[in-house]
Structure 1
Amino acid sequence: GNGREALRQVLSHEFAVILLDVNMPGMDGFETARLIRQRKSSAHVPIIFLTAMSDEMHAVRGYELGAVDYILTPVVPQVLRSKVAVFVDLFRKTEQVQRQAERLRQRATQLHRLTGASLAINSAPGAEQIVRIAAETARDVIGAHQSLMVVAPPEQPSHAAAYACYSDKYAAWRQMAPRVIGTPLHAMVCGRNQPLRMSPAELDAYAPLHAHGVAGTDAPPLRGLLAAPLTARDGHNMGMILLSDRIDGEFTDDDEAILVQLAQLASVAVENTIFAEERQANRLKDEFLSTLSHELRTPLNAISGWVQLMRMENLQDEMAHGLEVIERNVKAQTKLIEDLLDISRITTGKLRLSTRPITLKPVLLAAADAVRPSVDAKQIAMEFDLNAIEHEDAAVMGDPDRLQQVFWNLLSNAAKFTPVGGQITVRGQRDPQTNTVWISVSDSGEGIDPAFLPYVFDRFRQADSTSARRHGGLGIGLAIVRHIVELHGGQVQADSAGRGWGATFTIRLPRASVAATRYQQRPQEQRIEPETQGRPLRRSRARTPGKLPPAGPCQADQPPPPDRVSDPPGPQALAGYRILAVDDEADAREVVAELLGRFGGTVATAADVEQAMSMIPSFRPDVIVSDLAMPGLDGYALLQRVRASGNGRGGGPPVVALTAYARPEDRAESLRAGFQAHVAKPINPSELIEAIRRVAQAGSASPVEAPGSDSGLPTDPPAPNPLRLGT
């Protein structure tokens, strides 16, 4: 009705356009327009003057006050509506742009906070911290009074965690621990594994959720909800994030997108935490097993070394038999160590194969030679029927070292359960119908209870697990057999008619293509596998008392030609060589010095790196044989100092690693570090002597053994070798 009333309306409302009469009582239209323009909120609101005063001076004054139009009455309605409609449409579009700008600003703020939360979530040390950070971030970023997060990995119950956070509106529930798993809401969200959004009305209509709340009676009632699942990389559900009672309005599409992103971040962080803990546990286990192997091999090295030295003498039958018993038990102990390392690699998926076309007869004979002492001790007869698998049409794609380990385990198992005077029969046959080659190992032993047959290949399962059991072992040999055979794409089965009727273990392996076999076995294509690809098999042969078995690699898929097999080292094999042996263990130094001296070497010993370095200038060794694990400065430090001080000698004398760290990883690491050769304890005298001769002839310019590439190096311990003394 007047100017003052117009000003009051402008102060409390927003207008798209203002229509002012010029001639009003009290405060005219011009004064009202001037005061409207003085206020910041209305300074740019369009003003249209409506008046019957046609004086041109009045029109000029109106435009000077910021009017957008000056209309004389009487007004044509259509004209006025069109003019007003322009400014109303402009006002609406301006509001829309402002709302969009505000949403973008809010979205940018949310994303910025989400980025900060991502850094905090990814740096959280455990699932409980991840849950707390994600729940609080979801409530603050989206704006809700209630937030709940639960993590429940189905196969990782130790990582389950839940956290609820509430605004002051629900402060009374802050001290209550949420119990979510098993509620209808948890089952609904996690079962669907999809985002879920419900308005308060929709939630009220869904009685099961509304009645039970988020976590039974220990949580406030829900007022609308927005939930996103935590999904693992393989798609299975790990939990959920849930919001309820939005502070401003209902949950939107943008809210859902934000919560899904946050759930994805939390899912990745939870999985990374689980994987990191598993990796740490596996690393600690590997370190423990490596240390255990080292500590067990070290005393076995001295025992085995002295046994070999004593067997080189002309001993009476009783003494020779005693040494044979000692050697056989050293082998059994070392085999337990290797089995423990193998089973660890099986459980962590680290056991690898290095395959090529091979025939199985030489592999079987080498394995039989390895178990011969145990068989002979019980006067067990071993019969072989392998003619059907000795030709290339019966070749398989296999890792000869691992398959030798399989046959070693089966033959050892048969020898263990076969009584004195019993029999073991090994047969091989080619099956054209299934395109496979099968090997069976049968014994006349005590047999297997039919009830135990389904579990015979399970880890740590034994038919007799009581303290009074008659046979030793850890119950892992057959589990290793099954895993290696299955890695080859084959099958293994056990058969027995029951107690007292013996047992038969049958392995089936797919045949290799004949073309691939012929290509592999052409004379110009024959090659010696690097020792980093697994220990080469040797030709099976009887031992001669007082002599060491032959050393030197050969093809595992055919008998080695005479020029490929080294003769046993003679008594002067190391004559003219000056050798420095470095080991912190006195027993190890003594047995190495005695052994190398027996073969003509001039040997000096040192107990540590400092002593070794002080002896090198005067002793001038041709070869250094060093342990790796020594207190203080280790073998790697010795290698570095030898290379650094080797002025004019091509980096100093060559260095051979002689160590109880016998895994392929340890071998590869030492060769990459610069050792010319790696010899594992317990000592194989032939192998050590041959390594010393090779590196002395090659010098220190390059390693005699190839460390191999990361991709080709098998990460598993060597298979049993009939010529590894004490293994």
Structure 2
Amino acid sequence: MSTKPALLRAEPHATLGAVVLRDAGVIVERWARRSVEEQPSARRVHHEALLDHFPTFLWELGRGLADAREEDSFRHCRPADVHGDQRWEAGWSVGEVVRDYQLLRVVLVEHLDEALGRALTTREAQAIGVYIDDAIAASVSAYAACQAAAQRPAEVRQRVPGAARDELLGVMGVLGHELRNPMAPLGNALQILKVAAADPTAVERARALMERQLRVMTRLVDDLMDLPRLGRGKMGLKTERLDLSALVRDAANDRRPAFEAAGIALTVALPAEPLRTTGDAARLSQVFGNLLGNALKFTDRGGAVHVRLSRDDVGKVATFSVKDSGVGIDPSILEQVFEPFVQADRSVERSRGGLGLGLALVKGLVELHGGTVRAASAGAGTGTEVTVELPLIDLDARAPRANAGAAPKGPARRVLVIEDNVDSAESLQMYLELLGHEVAVAHSGTDGVRTAETAVPDVIVCDIGLPGMSGHAVCARLKTRPAFARTLFVALSGHAADGPELDPSGNGFDLYLLKPVDPKQLAEVIAGAGANNQ
């Protein structure tokens, strides 16, 4: 076998790579026009999908051209792998897709000739050809794999062991049950608002009920999304200096009404002085809240939960513990309770609600902060104690001030919200307009681009998973234009994998927010947009 392809892949072409990274959006636009002009009779079912995907492919291609080296000569195959992951929808024509890749090669070479003011050398053209050919091969292979998988669903099902399949179905059943639980009170509250709109007391009670149930659903979804992020090492921390005493006090106070309603005594012992650490306030609050929630869930009426925070004699380690008088844990599975979907007592867990994710998340978040967590129990009916240890910083460090309070209004901004979920878009529009901002809404990527071009906004808040044209494609198309140089691009994503790693050029979104977005957090981002884009 010839070694020329491998040698081509190992050759760096920094100038070509820089141009491709800089002009990816322009190249995709030129391809979009030419593909329609040169294939007028094509059905083009796949056109919007490739329009979304080609910017990412070109960014990866540009990086590969710029960074190629002998010891890592097949690094550039990542663009082909990305293309291999794309979904092949019904109605796509393999011939049309392949011709569009080939046309991209033509457009890319033409653009590079113009940008460099010279024709590409033979080696440069061959290097680009290797990338395009690998992408075509990967995409066609993906099509073949999709076709083969569709023809043997029974065979795929048979490969899943019976016990594993039953466990998966059981988890899905619990997930469905847990997500349906808040739906009934939410529906009831909506009916109350309809029939009692003139009764302020009833309206306030319904509002509070809906707020509580929304928090329940949000916690469930957050748990399901956070666990894979931890497993893939994609969980980032927003670290700052924190007072653990304040975080524990707030977590306990937030849940005290629930303990009182359940008839469970909650006692909290805190040190007189602040215990300061460096960490993510939201994630540590999630740790403390999950442990308090577990203690509440597994302790019967008349029981007790004791929370304690202390430090060691030398002031290097803080110890947080939650001890309950609840159902307890069999000592034989104590080491397993921090694994995902593991329940200490399945019948008890099922009856009391839960997915078995809380302790797994606690363990992952604590370890991200350089700490440890352990559980202790003498068995059924003896209660459980969970202990977290976290490193402390010097005791003389200044404690941070709380960030509580209303969302800052700041100066009025022109904001464009691009979101295909109509209710989400309109509710964000209402909230931001109440803060004094001028807000426009679009429900597709194409409409978003058109709206942005009509009146350039100060801030674009854009969903990633838009129909037809993805948020990444919207950003790529707009951000290369001088008119948007001062616009802040904020991505809203329902998937952890949609982050900045999909934008290796560094020319994508300025900020990524995970859904469901906290309106106050978004308001703070918009209020600071002017400072961010000076």
Give the TM-score of the pair, scaled to structure 2. 0.54
Give the drift of 1:376.
5.9
Q: Which residue of 1 aligns with 2:461?
A: 625
Structure 2 residue aligned with 1:658: 492
- For the structure 1 residues 662 and 591, does the alpha-carbon distance in structure 2 shift closer, same or farther, using more than 3 Å as the test? farther
1:568 aligns with 2:401: no
Verify the 8 A CA contact 2:309 2:319 in the aligned structure 1. Answer: yes
Aligned to 1:689: 523
1:329 to 2:167 alignment: no
1:464 positional shift: 2.7
Larger radius of gyration: 1
The answer for the alignment partner of 2:343 in structure 1 is 462
CA-CA distance at 1:448 after TM superposition: 3.3
Give the alignment partner of residue 594 of structure 1, picking from 430, 445, 458. 430
| Equivalent position of 2:245 in the other structure | 361
Alignment of 1:219-298 (within 5 A): none
Q: 1:427-506 counterparts in 2 under 5 A?
A: 427-432=308-313, 436-450=317-331, 452-466=333-347, 469-486=350-367, 490-506=371-387
1:452 deviates by 4.7
Q: 1:361 to 1:665 in 2, by over 3 A?
A: farther
SS in 2 for 1:469: helix
What is the CA-CA distance between 1:689 and the residue it aligns to? Answer: 1.7
Which residue of 2 is the match for residue 414 of structure 1?
295
Deviation at 1:630, TM superposition (A): 0.9
Answer whether contact 2:479 2:507 (CA < 8 A) is retained. no
- Which residue does 1:338 correspond to in 2? 222
The CA RMSD over aligned residues, in Å, is 4.5
Mapped to 2, the partners of 1:320 and 1:426 lie a distance apart of: 32
Tell me what 2:269 maps to: 385
When residues 314 and 672 of structure 1 are mapped into structure 2, their CA distance, relative to the original with a 3 A threshold, is: farther
Note the 1:86-101 alignment, pairs <5 A: none
For residues 349 and 268 of structure 2, the distance between their equivalents in structure 1, rounded to whole angstroms, comes to: 34
Distance 1:495 1:325, change over 3 A: farther
| Map of 1:678 onto structure 2 | 512
Distance (whole Å) between structure 2 residues aligned to residue 668 and residue 690 of structure 1: 25
Change (3 A) 1:421 1:374: same
Q: Which has the higher contact order (CA 8 A, sep 6+)?
A: 2
- Matching residue of 1:698: 531
* CA 623–567 in structure 1, closer or farther in 2 if over 3 Å, else same: same
Counting only pairs closer than 5 Å after superposition, residues 31-180 of structure 1 correspond to structure 2 as: none
Q: How far apart in 2 are the matches of 1:621 and 1:480?
A: 39
Q: 1:607 aligns with which of 418, 429, 443?
A: 443
Q: How many residue pairs were aligned?
A: 352
**1:640 corresponding residue in structure 2:** 476
SS at match of 1:418: coil
Query: C-alpha offsets along residues 667-721 of structure 1, whole Å, 9 cap, x if unaligned?
Result: 99599434344333213221122222211x23745xxxxxxxxxxxxxxxxxxxx
Query: What is the Cα deviation at residue 637 of structure 1?
Result: 2.5
Residue type matched to 2:297 in 1? K
The alpha-carbon deviation at position 584 of structure 1 amounts to 1.9
Q: Residues 479 and 619 (structure 1 numbering): CA distance in 2 closer, same or farther, change over 3 Å?
A: closer
Q: CA deviation at 1:411?
A: 1.1
Q: What is the DSSP-based 3-state SS (H/G/I as helix, E as strand, rest coil) of the residue aligned with 1:673?
A: coil
Contact 2:495 2:514 in 1 (8 A): yes
C-alpha spacing 1:504/1:664, structure 2 compared with 1 (3 Å)? farther
Deviation (angstroms), 1:484: 4.1
Q: CA deviation at 1:386?
A: 1.0
1:218-237 Cα deviation digits (max 9, x unpaired): xxxxxxxxxxxxxxxxxxxx
Q: Distance in 2 between matches of 1:631 and 1:671?
A: 24
Preserved CA contact (<8 Å) 1:491 1:508: yes
SS at match of 2:204: helix
The correspondence for 2:204, drawn from 295, 320, 326, is 320
Query: How far apart are the structure 2 equivalents of 1:585 and 1:492?
Result: 40
1:164-206 deviation per Cα after TM superposition (whole angstroms, max 9, x unaligned): xxxxxxxxxxxxxxxxxxxxxxxxxxxxxxxxxxxxxxxxxxx
The one-letter amino acid of 2:424's match is A
One-letter amino acid of the structure 2 residue matched with residue 656 of structure 1: V
Give 1:622 shift. Answer: 3.6
Q: Which has the higher helix share?
A: 2
- Which residue of the partner structure matches residue 306 of structure 2? 425
Give the secondary-structure state (helix, strand or coil) at the position aligned to 1:461: coil
Query: What is the DSSP-based 3-state SS (H/G/I as helix, E as strand, rest coil) of the residue aligned with 1:425?
Result: strand
Match of 2:20 in 1: none
Relative to structure 1, the CA distance from residue 314 to residue 333 in structure 2 (aligned partners, 3 Å threshold; closer, same or farther) is same
Counterpart amino acid of residue 464 in structure 1: D
The TM-score, its normalising length taken from structure 1, stands at 0.41
Q: Which stretches in structure 1 are left out of the alignment for 5+ residues?
A: 1-112, 120-291, 523-557, 702-727
Indicate if the aligned counterparts of 2:290 and 2:358 stay in contact, CA closer than 8 A.
Answer: yes
Post-superposition shift, 1:395? 4.6
1:469-508 CA distances to partner (integer Å, 9 max, x unpaired)?
A: 3122221322333344455554433334544443222223
Shift of 1:560: 0.4
In percent, how many aligned pairs have the same letter?
Answer: 34
Give the distance between the partners of 1:596 and 1:316, measured in 2 at CA: 25
1:591 partner letter: S
Q: Deviations over 1:310-331 (max 9, x none)?
A: 9xx9974444344434333333
Q: State the AA in 2 paired with 1:560.
A: R
Change in Cα spacing, 1:415 to 1:671, as seen in structure 2 (3 Å) is farther
Give the distance between the partners of 1:577 and 1:395, measured in 2 at CA: 37
**AA aligned opposite 2:449:** M
Change (3 A) 1:377 1:694: farther
Corresponding letter in the other structure for 1:698: A
1:347 CA displacement: 4.5
Contact 2:445–2:467 (CA under 8 A) maintained in structure 1: no
How many Å apart are 1:599 and its aligned residue?
Answer: 2.8
Kindly provide the amino acid, as one letter, of the partner of residue 523 in structure 2: I
